[in-house]
Structure 1
Amino acid sequence: MNNEKGIKIKMSENNNDYINRSKELINFIKESPTAFHVVNNFSKMLEKSGFQKINEKDKWKLKTGGRYYVTRNDSSVIAFTMPNKQNFYNFQIAAAHSDSPSFKIKENPGMIEDNNYVTLNVEKYGGMLMAPWLDRPLSVAGRVIVREDSGLKPVLVNVDRDLCVIPNLAIHMNRDVNNGIKYNPQKDMIPLFGEIASKDKFEKIIAMEAGTDADSIVSADLFLYNREVGKIWGADNEFMSAPRLDDVMCAFSCIKALTDNKENSKSVNVCAIFDNEEVGSTTKQGADSSFLYDVLSRISMCMGKDSEDFIRACASSFMLSADNAHAVHPNYKEKADPTNRPYMNKGIVIKYNANQKYTTDAISASIFKEICKKVGVEVQSYVNRSDIPGGSTLGNISNSHVSLNTVDIGLAQLAMHSPYETAGVKDTEYMIKAVKKFYETAIMADEEGIYRLIG
């Protein structure tokens, strides 16, 4: 292929496969500006692959060989495939999260400034890099509750146009800005929406997107999102940048692996995508809720297992906790651990932490390494520098409700929690291959504690 200057770039067919998969992810992200849209689009993918939606409020009647999914709060989803045998051995679970750091629109958001501008009152959702939100085209998406004759109806909305910007202060008015600035989210991060004539238009625009009038909207969960679309770039097209790679990249990979996979004859294969990981997971739809336990226990009951059988199945189960990892930064190499230095396009990252912010141990790491080896996917290690505390993820949180052998994994990326993140163009396909093989593999331990990987 040629770039703009006519330089020929040699690209293998395999590289094109990676690029096509990355483009598929970029398109999914473009159509999924909030966790509600992520789960809605996953639901469409699942139904296209023969999964049947079930409701937590209904009595479940699961069949061997069946494919099912259930949502909670429209922002979390658990999908699973039943084996052909009723007496299944265990659960094999891949988990990720649907949310990303953003700014949530507050109630009564419209503010008039200097009798000329209309701005929107927002608050931080999650721990984000604030500076990259400035001077970008932004819009608003989320969920509104509409009053209808039949009751209160949730409706997804996405104002699919450039709607607002958070403008920087000119350097002439802050000559010291390049020496560092501390951002105040109530002052510095307020988006400009319009001029004074637009003071009553925000609610009308949202209502128009919902197909109703402003008086019929009872409440809303709305967020700012970055309108810039994802790009594939680099000297040999080796990188991709897009909004919300953390953690849609892993969530998309896990869902794709499940939908592409045939049932495991010994295991119930499960994909759990939780909301609210970026704010601690302590919600009814987060990893620190009963959602996973409720679904697994109901599967067990539907297959005729008693309470002890369920505990035995969990004790034999395995989970991949998939959330992106930090790549070594080319400009800040010293921020990485001296001996564990993951890079983009170099394989899936296994994450370790002595204080159990990550759940990986020798057993879970060795099992995952063997699975990756079977499909020729390389693995890398991530450990925080000992003098730099790191974050945590959903693996250890969900394990407080359902105790499972778990390995924390992710894909290496730069600029985590920026509204425009960077990752390797090969890594989505690596994750799909590894998770698909995980779903195909029966992980069994004998009485001597020796693990056998069958499949």
Structure 2
Amino acid sequence: MNYIETSKELFDFIQKSPSMFHSIETIDSYLTKAGFTYLPEGKPWTIEKGGCYFTTRNHSSLIAFKIGNLCDHYHFQLTAAHSDSPTYKVKSIPEIEGPHEYLRLDVEAYGGMIDSTWFDRPLTIAGRVLIRQGNAIESRLLYIDKDILMIPNVAIHFNREVNDGYKYNRQVDLCPLFSGGELKKGAFNQMIADELGVEVKDILGKDLFLVNRQKPVIWGYKDEFVSTPKLDDLQCAFASLKAFLQGNNEHGINVYCCFDNEEVGSNTKQGAMSTFLYDVLKRINNGLSKTEEEFYQAIAKSFLVSCDNAHALHPNHPEKSDVINRNYLNKGIVIKESANQKYTTDAFSRAVFTQICQNANVPVQVFANRSDMVGGSTLGNLSNTQVSLHAVDIGLPQLAMHSSYETAGIKDTTYAIEALTTYFNSDVEIEEAKGIIING
């Protein structure tokens, strides 16, 4: 197992994905290179057995699928990850003038990040810009490959409470410094226009986000760890994509999903709670000339692996984890469970995925929150509001989730690729929730 080479490819994937729009562009490039056919949502679909296809919504969510040659009595085997990460979005009127000659940016939180981790490090912006082109409006990706912003801390001499639990005010403390006098009001939009080769007057809209410019690293005397921005959830998006491309199930339909807006609740037209997944699965069914009854039968026999990272035991705060149901870096995939159904895992889905991991010779761990602590949620149970499936929630163990720079074990990306490749290579035949046969 070449953990270092896998980690380097993960780093490349993340660096090419500075925003959710770039994430989808990067995934698109993997699929296109592998021979997948793009099917625009707004045009007729022609699909056939043995075909490989993908579609996007809002260019920030993507669903790809492989149709087996022998899928007459078919079902779906799915994974789902997300393309977005916590950051700050630049407001439509971006510039705050002063004090004196300073020029700052007005930003607002996207998701639940650790504010303190964004201070005193090089930043840039990435996202999409809508440009007028004659009578048309064109979407352009933007990433400025340069250190152009910084959020400076207040010196401890002026903020003696900073080490005593200081509460940052996002409207006051989190404004990135853009210029100290060289740039004047209007420079931000002019910069965007210059980068895209257009006129300022032709910029009609923009979705732009702050990006941490710190480089990913493999670290530790024995190369045990990886640290990079956006591990949550691009590590799972990458691992499940690699597995999807390597896997093949002749008797079913393998599906790879990467949704936007998980960090802000998924309740958008392109989020996991949207109709995107249902619409795609229904169109696959129709494209194969299957009946509505056959569609419902296929859904009942299908299985979803929701892939979103998990909290590893913290070295300085082990008390934050459950006393038994805890996990560790470099010890394998984590199956996440919650009695309040914030995760989709139940005994049935746990058994299915545990068997998959055993078939792949991949170690499995568990996660549950402390009983006196409210945990987070993810996209699996949200997508189930639109398409009800047997599902399991898994993740890769990491530290400092929602920091601007997160840490994981070097082995676990490879473990995920191996387990999910086995999943996509298997034919998982579900008989209600009473039994299952895993062939392959």
TM-score range normalised by the length of the shorter chain: over 0.9
Given candidates 5, 24, 28, the residue that maps to 1:43 is 28
Report the Cα offset of residue 176 of structure 1.
2.0
One of 383, 388, 408 as aligned partner of 1:398? 383
Say whether 1:352 aligns with 2:337: yes
Shift in Å, 1:213: 1.9
Alpha-carbon offset, residue 150 of structure 1: 4.7
Partner amino acid for 2:334? V
Structure 2 residue matching 1:103: 3-state secondary structure = strand
Residues 335-350 of structure 1: matches in 2 within 5 Å? 335-350=320-335
When the two structures are superposed, what TM-score results if normalisation uses the length of structure 2?
0.98
Counterpart Cα distance in 1 of 2:77 and 2:237: 16
Contact residue 67 and residue 82 of structure 1 kept, 8 A = yes
For residue 271 of structure 1, give the secondary structure of its aligned residue in structure 2: strand
Tell me the SS of whatever aligns to 1:169.
coil
Equivalent position to 1:106, from 91, 94, 97: 91
Secondary structure of 1:408's aligned partner: strand
Aligned counterparts, 1:12-411, within 5 A = 14=1, 17-85=2-70, 87-199=72-184, 200-262=186-248, 264-411=249-396
Contact 2:328–2:397, Cα closer than 8 Å, also in 1: yes
> How far apart, CA to CA, are the structure 1 residues paired with 2:291 and 2:196?
46
Question: In the alignment, residue 141 of structure 2 is paired with which amino acid?
Answer: L
C-alpha distance in structure 2 between counterparts of 1:427 and 1:445, whole Å: 28
Query: Separation in 2 of the partners of 1:86 and 1:266?
Result: 4
Q: Is the 8 A contact 1:141 1:157 kept in 2?
A: yes
Q: Secondary structure at the match of 1:229?
A: coil
Structure 1 residue runs of 4 or more that deviate by more than 6 Å after TM superposition: none
Greater displacement, 353-362 / 303-312: 303-312
Paired residue secondary structure (1:37): helix
Counterpart contact for 1:86–1:303, Cα < 8 Å: no
Q: CA deviation at 1:34?
A: 0.4
Deviation at 1:89, TM superposition (A): 1.8
Aligned-pair CA distance for 1:85: 2.8
Alignment deviations for residues 19-51 of structure 1 (CA, whole Å, 9 cap, x no partner): 110011011111110000000010001000010
SS of 1:178's equivalent?
Answer: coil
Q: Which amino acid aligns with 1:229?
A: K
2:412 aligned partner = 427
Per-residue deviation, 1:195: 2.2
CA positional deviation for 1:86: 5.0
Query: Alignment partner of 1:63: what SS?
Result: coil
Separation in 2, partners of 1:406, 1:79: 18
The correspondence of residues 434-453 of structure 1 with structure 2, limited to 5 A, is: 434-446=419-431, 449-453=434-438
State the Cα deviation string for residues 181-213 of structure 1 (Å, max 9, x = none): 001100010000002331222111111222212
Q: Write the distance in 1 (CA, Å) between the matches of 2:232 and 2:155.
A: 31
2:235 counterpart SS class = helix
Displacement of 1:360: 0.1
Q: Secondary structure at the match of 1:172?
A: coil
SS at match of 2:163: helix
Normalised TM-score (structure 1): 0.95
Q: Which amino acid aligns with 1:230?
A: P
Contact 2:94 2:107 in 1 (8 A): yes
**Partner AA of 2:236 in structure 1:** C
SS at match of 1:80: strand
- Whole-angstrom CA distance in 2 between matches of 1:86 and 1:368: 22
Distance 1:214 1:259 in 2: 41
Higher deviation after alignment, 77-86 or 369-378? 77-86
- How far apart, in 1, do the equivalents of 2:57 and 2:398 lie? 29
CA offsets per residue over residues 397-428 of structure 1, 9 Å max, x none?
Answer: 00011010000000000000000000011111
SS of equivalent to 1:197: coil
Match of 1:454 in 2: 439
Amino acid at match of 1:253: A
Kindly indicate whether the alpha-carbon contact (under 8 Å) linking 1:88 and 1:268 is maintained by their aligned counterparts in 2.
Answer: no
Q: Is the 8 Å Cα contact of residues 302 and 430 (structure 2) preserved in structure 1?
A: no
Identity %: 50
Q: Counterparts of 2:253 and 2:84 in 1: how far apart (Å)?
A: 26
C-alpha change, 1:168 and 1:426, in structure 2 (3 Å) is same
Contact in 1 for aligned 2:428/2:439 (Cα 8 Å)? yes
Is the partner of 1:339 in helix, strand or coil? coil
